[in-house]
Amino acid sequence: MTNPELLELLDPQLNNPRLRLLSLMDHTPGQRQTMNLERFRERLVAGGKEAVEIDESLAQRTAWRDQSAAPRNRSTVVAVARKYAIPLASHDDATIEHVDEAHDNGAIIAEFPVSIEAAVRAREVGMKIFMGGPNFVRGSSHSGNLSARECATAGLLDGITSDYIPLSMLRSAFMLAEPPYNWPIQDAIATVARTPALACGLTDRGEIAIGQRADFLRIRRSSEGWPTPREVWREGRRVA
Whole-number pLDDT of residue 141: 85
CB 130 within 8 A of CB 112: yes
What gap in Å lies between CA 110 and CA 122, rounded to an integer? Answer: 6
Whole-number pLDDT of residue 63: 65
Whole-number pLDDT of residue 46: 61
CB 186 within 8 A of CB 196: no
Whole-number pLDDT of residue 35: 61
- Give SS3 for 161: strand
What is the end-to-end Cα distance of the chain in Å, rounded? 37
Whole-number pLDDT of residue 52: 72
Find the angle CA(97)-CA(121)-CA(78) to the nearest 5 degrees: 55
- Give SS3 for 156: coil
Whole-number pLDDT of residue 239: 98
Total residue count of the chain as it appears in this document: 240
CB 168 within 8 A of CB 136: yes
Residue 237, CB-side half-sphere exposure with 13 Å CA sphere: 2
CB atoms within 10 A of CB 99: 26
What gap in Å lies between CA 122 and CA 116, rounded to an integer? Answer: 10
Mean pLDDT by 10 residues, the chain (240 residues): 83 93 82 64 66 70 64 91 96 95 98 96 98 96 88 98 94 97 98 97 95 95 91 97
Whole-number pLDDT of residue 10: 92
- Give SS3 for 228: strand
CB 176 within 8 A of CB 169: no
Whole-number pLDDT of residue 210: 95
Whole-number pLDDT of residue 163: 92
